[in-house]
């Protein structure tokens, strides 16, 4: 084999090795960036979950201390439990949050409540207060239990 061909093949091999090293380095950097993003996303999700758990505990404490209407507390806890631990709503004593939610979910809230006729709102309030009265003891027990639940 002539020397010029040998040198050409050596140079071509060196170029191929350098190109592969550059490619490998870029791939490694992309993988590292992907891992960093994944860790950041997992940390964000963990913090978000912990914030929801903290909110559940605060709402439960507000229910225990009669600082919030039972129906509102049930709606809020149910909404948070949907994201944190939906299986809890099928177990006693937490199932009362779902029971109350099912009985009052048709009622208007926020702007829809303000836009609704006053007599209809009063009728809905009367129905809501009856649901709250009927389940008051269960709601308080469930609030205490969920406040101490290890999520």
pTM of the model: 0.77
* Count of positions (residues) in the chain: 151
Within 8 A by CB and 6+ apart from 122, the residues are: none
More confident residue, 114 or 119: 119
- Looking at residue 31, what is its pLDDT? 97
Q: How far apart are CA 137 and CA 119, in angstroms?
A: 29
Which residue shows structure tokens 């791939």? 27
Tens digit of each residue's pLDDT (9 = 90 or more) over 5-49: 999 999 999 999 999 999 999 999 999 999 999 999 999 999 999
**% pLDDT > 70, the chain:** 99
Owning domain of residue 68: 3-147
Measure the N-to-C terminal CA separation of the chain; round to a whole number of Å. Answer: 74
For residue 60, what pLDDT is reported? 97
Give me the pLDDT at residue 123, please.
87
At residue 110, the pLDDT reads 74
Helix (H, G, I), strand (E, B) or coil at 116: coil
- The confidence band for 101, taking pLDDT boundaries of 50, 70 and 90, is very high
- The reported pLDDT for the residue numbered 116 is 74
State the total domains in the chain.
1
């Amino acid at each position: 084999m002539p020397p010029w061909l040998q040198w050409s093949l050596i140079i071509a091999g060196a170029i191929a090795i350098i190109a592969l090293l550059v490619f490998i380095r870029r791939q490694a950097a992309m993988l590292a960036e992907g891992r960093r993003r994944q860790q950041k996303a997992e940390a964000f999700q963990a913090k978000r979950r912990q914030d929801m758990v903290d909110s559940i505990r605060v709402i439960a404490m507000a229910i225990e201390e009669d600082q919030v209407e039972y129906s509102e507390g049930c709606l809020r806890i149910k909404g948070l439990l949907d994201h944190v631990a939906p299986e809890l709503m099928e177990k006693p004593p937490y199932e009362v949050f779902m029971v109350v939610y099912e009985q009052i979910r048709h009622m208007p809230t926020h702007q829809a409540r303000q836009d609704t006729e006053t007599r209809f709102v009063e009728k809905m309030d009367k129905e809501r207060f009856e649901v709250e009265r009927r389940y008051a003891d269960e709601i308080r027990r469930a609030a205490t239990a969920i406040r101490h639940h290890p999520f």
